[in-house]
Chains A and B, each alone.
Chain A
Amino acid sequence: MNAILKPPIQRYLEALELEIKRHSGVSPEDALSDAREYLQNQQESLLRAEPTLDDEALYKQFVESFGPPREVAAAYAESTGDEAETPLGYAPGWRVCCTTCGRSAPLRKHGIRIGAASFHKYTLGYCRGCRWIRWLRVIRDAHRANLTEQLGTTNTPDQVRRSLHRPWLVMAAIVAAVLSTTLAPWFFVAARAPAVREREFIRLVVGPDQMTLQGEQVTRDQLRNRLAAYPHRERTVLEFAATTPQLADIESAYARAFRMAIELGFEYLSDVGVQPLGAKGSLPQQIEVDTAKQEELARHVNQVRRQPVKDRVQVLWLPDRSLAVDGRVVNDDQKLLTVLRAVPNRSGTVLEVVGKWNASGNKIPTEFGRRLPGPLAHISADTALRFLWDSVAKGLGYKEVKFTEWQNTEPAAAPPSGPAASVVKEWLRLVLAGKLDEADKLTDFPRRADATHDVRDPKLLAGAKLEKQFAREQAVLIVSDVRQVAGKRGKLFFLLFRDPRRFSDWLIREADFVDERELEERIAAFLAPALLDQEVERTLGKDKNHVLDLESGRVRDLTEDWDRNVDDPLKWLAVRGLDIGLRFNPNKPGEIFGLSLVGNVVEVDGEAWNTVDSRELEKLLEGKLAMNSVLEANPDQLPATYVFRTHGHPANEPYVGVLQILGIDQTQQELRFKYRLVGKSQPVNR
């Protein structure tokens, strides 16, 4: 506690302080401390002897016993050997004092100071009291009794000096102020300027029994700590390499490295193929492809351009169904997905998919076209896989997928065609209804010999949640929650056939990210029975040797080009797509003969003309054999209605339809009838 001084003591000390500050070589704090000690004790003594002593009397007693302030100050000055007063310059009110010992002197002794304003000023100088270089403070308090107040009743001189003089704090504050003033604009600019990032690359090479990290051998236990020790991991790429393509357990090693890269905050993991032990990461460069594999690739790719490995993973889908990732064979789709997941900034990356087999038969140079921007390229062997990659890319959040058709020069590579679209639709209807056994019996999907890729692996969907999955030998139906895949509402509906490329193509058009209601509508439309085309009415005449192509509605007069020397007239007609002829039998008027009408001709009730649909037609014709049918109509019971299936053209599938005989003219030997086909008939004028 620092109590207030008694007025007489304070008065005396203040007078002494002013006197002391006029002298050189004296520490005012010391002198005031001495005087305070004396005066406090003296006052107590005097008041004990005479309690009624007033302040004025006390002050007189102080002066009488302790001495007048001027004399006391002079005594201190003399004790130090300095002159009492040295009026050399002109600096009224200023003094300079040592911040360590408190030795003080009027500033006028050292120079002139006029009209200056100052709060704290320090300078280094020699102190005769300390006899060493000290911080000297220039202070304007010679006219003020500030030290008396600072000293109070209990503070020591050292405490007063410490409270008054803090040159280091002041210097630190000045330095901080200067730095903040000068550096603040720089920080402002630096904060707004885009960060200059330079990628760094460190390489992990995994061998059968050892591995190296950036050229130094490391054990599996040490790996995490060694990786964690790298600074700037956020802009460092961890490269992963194996010493040999046939390294066992390479996929799990890659997966571990991938997890570490994510957990430790590396920018991304980059697969750099086969590298020797001790290899170090470096700036993007050409990679060396394994020689044997390079030859293998060269057989399928006329020119394999070496791509920079950084930011690009080249995936080749080989005919033997193995994957070549940067020249290293990978027989695990999961590994490939891991590679895809490791690519950073996928939302801004185009996944480029190159279809290898398009099987057009046209000779097109098998060469990579110009790369689209993006780190990935994939050569897909079939359309189903193309679609798979499409879904995978969406599931992984790639910006978009671009398919580059890269056509093969071997027509034989084209997969065989599959069953009719109507059969596939029926198959799909049964699958959706859960009648899988019936679906299996419906048809035998043709399969390519090398179709071994299992598209049923849910992992291929990149974590998509499967709501429904029907796995069969031929295909897998997957209804996937789109929100899980692409963050969109609705469902992803697609059917992956193992191989029949044609139907995969067709279904790919059906499958898309759509609204759930729209999807249901599309599925309903997809499964709905096909409508019958518009009716076509024709009249055939016996004398004119008329024959009819039902699909085109074209009537042909055989008298013009009939070759009577053909060995098999019916085959001759069938090859030309002709379906129906007319024959008049005196005993059986109105007979129409069918030329290999597939599925036979079945007479049905007349109402069927208006009510039958494609599904009923298929049902009516189910199990019927193809043969040359004859439609015998009773002129008294017309109209007569029939269902039929055509034999089809070489380029077209068979059609089903309904036919109704309307009238028979015995005299003219003509027969009038109408018919409707299911889908795709394009009748022409006669």
Chain B
Amino acid sequence: MPPDTSRKKFQKELNAGAVSLVLLAILEKQREPMYGYEIAKQLESLAAGDLPMHQGAIYPALRSLERQGLLRSRMIPSDSGPPRKYYQLTAAGKAALADWMPVWQRTKQFVDLLLEGCNERDSKTADSKVSRSARA
């Protein structure tokens, strides 16, 4: 499998769970209804232009959360374009956010813990490869 494809697949799998948490978090943070593009731009801004997912992935996640009852939506016509679908956290959504945050924290700490050791070894290995090639 090419490295790029592998990375995309990993990113996709990683995003699959994280996007929902991100969406709940941003809606909780804003405390007011937001429509899809607004959420996407907000995330893009927070990511400083390096959003780790396609913004197209936000919309199916929003609908999935809505189907689960964590969000509710309302379609409002727009003067400048197509009608916008505004999403808002439900009580269940807030409870889910509170429930998911410790899960994310534990996962994140665990992954970080593992990745810290990997990073040190990887850097040493890389240095040795460079010196060997230089000698050659």
Q: Known interface pairs A37-B85, A153-B82. Does A42 touch B37 (Cβ–Cβ under 8 Å)?
A: yes
Asked whether, in the complex, the Cβ of B37 is within 8 Å of the Cβ of A72, the reply is: no
CA distance A413 to B85 in the complex (A): 111
Interface residues of A in 126-163 (CB under 8 A from B): 153-154, 156
Asked whether, in the complex, the Cβ of B59 is within 8 Å of the Cβ of A31, the reply is: yes
Contact flags A22-50 to B (C-beta < 8 A → 1, else 0): 00000000110111111011101100000
Q: Does A65 contact B (CB under 8 A)?
A: yes
Asked whether, in the complex, the Cβ of B54 is within 8 Å of the Cβ of A156, the reply is: no
Q: Known interface pairs A42-B37, A79-B64. Does A37 touch B82 (Cβ–Cβ under 8 Å)?
A: yes
CA distance A603 to B54 in the complex (A): 152
Asked whether, in the complex, the Cβ of A31 is within 8 Å of the Cβ of B75, the reply is: no
Interface residues of B in 3-60 (CB under 8 A from A): 16, 35-37, 40-41, 54-57, 59-60
Which residue from B37, B55, B84 sits with its C-beta under 8 Å from A67?
B55
Asked whether, in the complex, the Cβ of B82 is within 8 Å of the Cβ of A67, the reply is: no
Asked whether, in the complex, the Cβ of A40 is within 8 Å of the Cβ of B56, the reply is: no
CA distance A156 to B75 in the complex (A): 8
Residues of B within 8 A of A34 (CB): 36, 59-60, 62-63, 85
Q: Does A257 contact B (CB under 8 A)?
A: no
Asked whether, in the complex, the Cβ of A65 is within 8 Å of the Cβ of B55, the reply is: yes
Residues of B within 8 A of A31 (CB): 59-60
B44 to chain A, nearest CB (A): 8
Asked whether, in the complex, the Cβ of B55 is within 8 Å of the Cβ of A38, the reply is: yes
> Which residue of chain A has the shortest Cβ distance to B35 in the bound complex?
A37
Q: Does B102 contact A (CB under 8 A)?
A: no
Asked whether, in the complex, the Cβ of B54 is within 8 Å of the Cβ of A35, the reply is: no
Q: Does A76 contact B (CB under 8 A)?
A: yes
Residues of B within 8 A of A44 (CB): 80-81
Residues of A within 8 A of B56 (CB): 35, 38, 66-67, 71-72, 75
Residues of B within 8 A of A45 (CB): 41
Contact flags A163-179 to B (C-beta < 8 A → 1, else 0): 00000000000000000
Residues of A within 8 A of B37 (CB): 37-38, 41-42
Q: Known interface pairs A31-B59, A79-B61. Does A66 touch B36 (Cβ–Cβ under 8 Å)?
A: no
Q: Does A78 contact B (CB under 8 A)?
A: yes
Q: Known interface pairs A37-B35, A37-B36, A38-B40. Does A75 touch B85 (Cβ–Cβ under 8 Å)?
A: no
Contact flags B95-116 to A (C-beta < 8 A → 1, else 0): 0000000000000000000000
Most buried by B among A36, A38, A153: A38
Residues of B within 8 A of A68 (CB): 54
Residues of B within 8 A of A154 (CB): 77, 81-83
Residues of B within 8 A of A75 (CB): 56-57, 60-61
CA distance A156 to B84 in the complex (A): 9
**Which applies to chain A's interface (DSSP): helix, strand, loop or mixed?**
helix
Asked whether, in the complex, the Cβ of B35 is within 8 Å of the Cβ of A79, the reply is: no
CA distance A156 to B41 in the complex (A): 22
CA distance A30 to B63 in the complex (A): 9
Residues of A within 8 A of B36 (CB): 34, 37-38
B54 to chain A, nearest CB (A): 3
B87 to chain A, nearest CB (A): 11
Q: Known interface pairs A37-B36, A156-B75. Does A72 touch B85 (Cβ–Cβ under 8 Å)?
A: no
A17 to chain B, nearest CB (A): 14
Most buried by A among B56, B59, B61, B80: B56
Asked whether, in the complex, the Cβ of B63 is within 8 Å of the Cβ of A156, the reply is: no
Which residue from A37, A65, A76, A79 sits with its C-beta under 8 Å from B54?
A65
Residues of B within 8 A of A79 (CB): 60-61, 63-64
Asked whether, in the complex, the Cβ of B54 is within 8 Å of the Cβ of A33, the reply is: no
Residues of A within 8 A of B85 (CB): 33-34, 37
Asked whether, in the complex, the Cβ of A78 is within 8 Å of the Cβ of B16, the reply is: yes
Which residue from B16, B59, B61, B64 sits with its C-beta under 8 Å from A38?
B59
CA distance A546 to B85 in the complex (A): 145
CA distance A41 to B83 in the complex (A): 11
A266 to chain B, nearest CB (A): 64
CA distance A85 to B120 in the complex (A): 42
Asked whether, in the complex, the Cβ of A33 is within 8 Å of the Cβ of B60, the reply is: no
Asked whether, in the complex, the Cβ of B81 is within 8 Å of the Cβ of A40, the reply is: yes
Residues of B within 8 A of A66 (CB): 54-56
Interface residues of A in 43-83 (CB under 8 A from B): 44-45, 65-68, 71-72, 75-76, 78-80
Asked whether, in the complex, the Cβ of A153 is within 8 Å of the Cβ of B55, the reply is: no
Asked whether, in the complex, the Cβ of A78 is within 8 Å of the Cβ of B60, the reply is: yes
> Which residue of chain A has the shortest Cβ distance to B80 in the bound complex?
A44
B41 to chain A, nearest CB (A): 8
> Which residue of chain B has the shortest Cβ distance to A5 in the bound complex?
B82
Most buried by A among B16, B37, B60, B82: B82
Given contacts A37-B81, A153-B81, A154-B82, 8 further A-B contacts (CB under 8 A): A31-B59, A35-B59, A42-B37, A65-B55, A66-B56, A71-B54, A154-B83, A156-B83
Q: Which residues of A contact B (CB under 8 A)?
A: 30-31, 33-38, 40-42, 44-45, 65-68, 71-72, 75-76, 78-80, 153-154, 156
Q: Which residues of B contact A (CB under 8 A)?
A: 16, 35-37, 40-41, 54-57, 59-64, 75, 77, 80-85
A-B contact pairs, 29 of them (CB 8 A): A31-B59, A31-B60, A34-B59, A34-B60, A34-B62, A35-B59, A36-B82, A37-B82, A37-B84, A38-B55, A38-B56, A42-B37, A44-B81, A66-B55, A71-B54, A71-B56, A72-B56, A72-B60, A75-B56, A75-B60, A75-B61, A79-B61, A79-B63, A79-B64, A153-B82, A154-B77, A154-B83, A156-B75, A156-B83
